Structure 1
Amino acid sequence: MLNQIVKAVPNLFTIGNLLCGVLSITYMMSGFLQVAAVFIFFSAFLDLLDGRIARKLKVNSEFGVELDSLADIISFGVAPAILFHSIAAPSILTSLAFILFPTMGALRLAKFSVNPTIGYFKGLPIPAAGLPLAGMGFFLYSNAWITLILAFLMVSPIRIKKL
């Protein structure tokens, strides 16, 4: 029984990450954009903890890895893209950035799931791309070019050392 509870602990943090992403979207829909941005930052904190806790407790699992990817696409792909779109002036460039950001994030997560790397990330991790958008959103600033650059960095071949 205790073993099952210990195995569930990291997944509870991952679900917290997901819930913060969903709450972020909910607050955006109600017009509370800065609160929505803060929830994206809460997601990042929980995302940081879930993997560390899983490794510390030695309860890594495929289920946890997949759940983490699903939570990340919501919290760091969809939520920041909607925040960006809520602030940005309407244009074709804005629409393109809005579509490409979560799409490239999903592609990056799928690539990592199929071919994980050790010691480095190939392409910008989705939290590292979503957090600048959340930061800009907190200050009610948007920039389609920055959003597009972050989107393409996620699927780029650059190597980034893991923290």
Structure 2
Amino acid sequence: MASDKVKKEFNPKHFSLVRNFYIADIITLMNGVCGVQSVFASMRYLVSNDIQDLYSAMSFMPFGLFFDFMDGRVARWRNNSSLLGQELDSLADLISFGLAPAALAYAIGMRTWLDTVVLTYFVCCGIARLARFNATVALAPKDATGKVNHFEGTPIPTSLCLVALLAWFVLQDRYLDALPGQCLVLADGGGYDFHPLVLIYAVSGTLMISKTLRIPKP
């Protein structure tokens, strides 16, 4: 009898991971889907030069925010949140609000080597911020419902403010060679030119990993 139990533990049913997903986990995955589709749309623009692909890339990210908002509500409503759901949420957020905004910036013209260094820094800050949250959330002060009282550093979805700004520039036809601030050349032939606009990503990333900046959680 005991051997049958051990055998069952080491031979789980097919698709056991998916079968154990809660509804909130499925909603979280939809956030990730929106992020991946946004990245693909930015990549398509690099090939097609069709502005509709840029609009698609920008449109998927707010939908990702909607699913990010809803998964926590559904988890609390059904009282079935899990550690798996927490990890899923962080990974989906990294794609939708870290990688996708960086890919959009590259697509609209921030493509120099220094630009990519700053965009990489931004994504890495998002990784560090989410990892810190997962590592410390168990010890963070909570209200009566078990919800964390505040964020340390800006939440990664605030990167949608950058996306909104870039969307405005695209609508004003100020992208690619017409980006505000143009491109600064720091050294002739040295490959050190960059777009000053990319520095907003550096600021956003730095605010995400701030330890002293505390923002009340709504």
- Same fold? TM cut 0.5: yes
Q: Percent identity?
A: 36
1:122 aligns with 2:136: no
Counterpart-to-counterpart distance in 1, 2:83 and 2:215: 23
Of Structure 1 and Structure 2, the greater helix share is in 1
Matches within 5 A, 1:79-158: 79-116=100-137, 117=140, 118-128=148-158, 130-139=159-168, 140=170, 143-157=197-211, 158=213
TM-score of the two chains, using structure 2 as the length reference: 0.68
1:29-108 map, 5 Å = 29-31=43-45, 32-108=53-129
Paired residue secondary structure (1:30): helix
Moved over 3 A (4+): 4-7, 88-93
Separation in structure 2 between the aligned mates of residue 110 and residue 6 of structure 1, nearest angstrom = 24
**Structure 1 residues not aligned, in runs of 5+:** none
| 1:89–1:75 Cα change, 3 Å | closer
- Equivalent position amino acid for 1:121 in 2: F
RMSD across aligned positions (CA): 2.0
- Aligned partner letter, 1:105: G
Q: Distance in 1 between matches of 2:199 and 2:83?
A: 35
Q: 1:144 to 1:64 in 2, by over 3 A?
A: same
3-state SS of 1:121 partner? strand
Of the structure 1 ranges 39-48 and 131-140, higher mean CA displacement relative to structure 2 is found in 131-140
TM-score in terms of structure 1 length: 0.90
